Amino acid sequence: MEFNVQRDGLTLAGIYEPAPQPNGTIAILMHGFTGNRGYTPIELLVQLAARLRAVGVGTVRFDFNGHGHSDGHFADMTVLNEIADAQAVLTAVQARLHPQHIDLLGHSQGGVVASMLAGYYPDLIHKLVLMAPAATLKDDALAGHTRGLDYDPHHIPASLPLTEDLTLGGFYLRTAQLLPIYETAQAFTGPVCLIHGDADQIVAPNASERYDAVYQDSTLHLLPGASHRLDGDARPTVLQLATDFIGN
């Protein structure tokens, strides 16, 4: 069912799918950079949500600002305002659904957002799953190399053309350079499941290794041959690992 959320005048397009036999847990799923909440059966978050519901976990997926069906312009998107999006969804889940537990699952940049939100709300978040979390986005911004873009990291322009259809705002890169990703994430002391492909060409596996080093209760799964999309032969393993972790 529709689960739209308002944040600073923007409507974030969300969907709530209850579990047939609910166990009291709601999982909030977060997509990555240039992605969306998933609209076809082959997508990671759609498949993950289906598996979670089968073990009693209701799911909420949403499009970050400037993505999918949500309001906003991609050029205005930053990790900071994606955290604000996620916080608004978290508050709505609490107020509307009243779950016993709230778990967060994030892929790529959504993993960074989930990790930082859990750090801000360690008293509210029960479990955390980070799939190829893109914490290297800070290192990339400091080096002046982001997703195929090259720029002077000391003189970042107002905007850069990312694709024919998408423009990346310079403020995204300026804020990325100063994000306290691991410092914030480590405030969450609950159980964490880290999943990363050792053939990831977009986010180096050492991003998850650094998370594993700062967390108090984490398990790192490095999947041989798996790419950043965690698709192909790796997908069943990813779904199983995440579902077993959340469902138990």
Cβ pair 54, 71 in contact under 8 A: no
The secondary structure of 14-26, three-state, reads EEEECCCCCCCEE
The whole domain housing 86 covers: 5-247
- Would you say the pTM of this structure is higher than 0.75? yes
CATH number at residue 14: 3.40.50.1820
One DSSP character per residue, 32-99 reads: -TT--S--STTSHHHHHHHHHHHTT-EEEEEPPTTSTTSSS-GGG--HHHHHHHHHHHHHHHHHHH--
Q: Which residues pair with 27 in a beta bridge?
A: 59, 103
Segment 92-137, tens digit of pLDDT: 999 999 999 999 999 999 999 999 999 999 999 999 999 999 999 9
Of 57, 56, 65, 59, which Cα lies nearest the Cα of 46? 59
Phi, psi angle pair for 89, to nearest 5°: -65, -45
- pLDDT above 70 covers a percentage of the chain that reads 100
Segment 228-238, tens digit of pLDDT: 999 999 999 99
CA distance 57 to 59: 6
Per-residue pLDDT, 181: 98
Q: Which residues pair with 104 in a beta bridge?
A: 28, 128
Residue 248: pLDDT band (50, 70, 90) is confident
Could you give the number of structural domains in the chain? 1
